Amino acid sequence: MNKRISATSRGRFFVGALAGVSALALAGCAGGSSDTALSEKQTIQVWGWSGAPGEATMDAVIDAYEAENPNITVEYNEITNTDYANKATLALSSKQPIDVVGVFPNDWAGDNEDFLLPVDQWPGDGSPLDGLSENAVEQTENLYSDGEARSVPMYSNGSVLGFYNPDLLARAGFSEPPATWAEMEQFATALKAVSPDILPAIVPNDTWLQGDFLLTLAGNTDPEFWNDLRYHDGDWNTPATVEAFTQYRSLFEKGILDASTLDVPYADAMAAFTTGEAAIVFTGAWEAGLLLDSYREANGIDLPAVGAMPVPADDPDARGMRAFVDATFGIPVNSSHKSAAADFIRFMTSGDGVDVWGPTLIGTPALEGWSLPDGTLSSDVAIAGYETIQELVNNPNSDRNVLSNFENQQGSYALEVAAGNLSPEEAAEKGQADLESGKYN
């Protein structure tokens, strides 16, 4: 019987290095360990965090894997995402028996890279990276100091995009979602004329999502902006940033967004959309389950269909978002079951396991060319929406390689700009000072 330790939560976070990790890594990884033959009866230990991909999804993947490999038992230990960084690092440094470990796609990966076996040393024929998208592989390689992959990507996600109610768009005379801000203004005006109590659009006020939205606006002006800051010591106070703050304020001035929503948190903003009180909600691709009839039915969402759209831009060809690998898995150097661990990871990322979890829409699979099975989505709107998500995630304006504390702070400035308490120029200057101070990195 599988042992599944569960916890539920979803959030954003930034993980810094633990004191002494480098020394522990050097001490803990010397020499490696033995391996159990794939044909032998064995149990492998898999560690992951809540929501990526989550207990229910892993249950289904494990069941399918064990059905194909009856000599291998998989025990899954899921830890709340906010606790995972510390617990996983301590477990790896103390050589606890872990065979497959979820790798945070942020600084945690590089901080703990000495505990992880390079992918080119994994047992099995061919590289586990073969057949995966070039963008997902490159982003995974960039997690590590020497550019050598020590984990394999499972799927990617991105932010921000919009999910829309096609019935409410049609009520305002729109058969397609607005592509430009001028069209969004026309839509908002038309919707208010027929349904004044319905919000044209809503952006949750959580500062992390406010920062994401702001960076999406900046990326639609300058696609290289975030990667330049993140990887090449670029500035925050740039024309793209000032334009993003300016544009954000204008959305409230033009009635596209309502100032009354500036105090509406994530859960309430999503509820406003799912109950028909808002026509569009701007969030991340992780909410793609909204496209599924089964998801809406299971969650009591009484909407006949949901679509997905890019964040509008003055130039519709410039629309994009930031995206990044969301779940990657590695093998600890000290694993005694490397062959089985590698086989399980291949099953999840490029094998039959993708057909198990892919239709849940938890993320865009890293497997190149993978497509949803026929019948997964029931409407043309949903099918087009999923294609939109795939296009945005696979071809992002920039990496969503976050600096959470810094971005949260910029999100707070976005709220102040929207409320009229800061000018766009003042907000950009404050952000530059934050960046140079280093206290938010």
Cβ partners under 8 Å of residue 414, min gap 6: 210, 211, 213, 214, 245, 248, 427
Assess contact for 261 and 213: CB atoms under 8 A.
no
Express each pLDDT in 223-261 by its tens digit: 999 999 999 999 999 999 999 999 999 999 999 999 999
pLDDT value at 16 more than 50? no
- In the chain, residues under CATH classification 3.40.190.10 are 4-156+325-365, 158-323+388-437
Confidence at residue 93, expressed as pLDDT on a 0 to 100 scale: 96
Question: 245-283 as b/e, with b when 16 or more CB fall inside 10 Å?
Answer: bbbbbebbeeebbbeebbebebeebbebbbeebbbbbbb
| pLDDT tens digits, one per residue of 310-351 | 999 999 999 999 999 999 999 999 999 999 999 999 999 999
DSSP track, 359-377:
GGTSSEESBTT--PPTTSS
In angstroms, the CA 34 to CA 31 distance is 10
Alpha helices in 40-106 (DSSP H): 55-68, 81-93
pLDDT mean across residues, the chain: 92
Task: Write out the DSSP string of 280-299.
Answer: EEEEEGGGGGGG-HHHHHHT
Share of the chain above pLDDT 90, in %: 90
Residue 4 has pLDDT above 80, yes or no: no
4-156+325-365 homologous superfamily: Periplasmic binding protein-like II (3.40.190.10)
What are 125-178's pLDDT values in tens digits? 999 999 999 999 999 999 999 999 999 999 999 999 999 999 999 999 999 999
Cβ-contact 308, 15 below 8 angstroms? no
102: nearest Cα among 150, 30, 37? 150
Q: Which residues pair with 73 in a beta bridge?
A: 43
Digit-coded pLDDT (tens) for 353-390: 999 999 999 999 999 999 999 999 999 999 999 999 99
**Local confidence band at 33 (pLDDT 50, 70, 90 cut-offs):** low
What pLDDT does residue 438 have?
A: 86
Topology, domain 158-323+388-437: D-Maltodextrin-Binding Protein; domain 2 (3.40.190)
Give 99's DSSP letter. S
Q: What angle do CA 214, 328, 113 make, to 5 degrees?
A: 100
Residue 373 vs residues 359, 360, 383, 401: alpha-carbon distances, Å: 7, 11, 11, 30
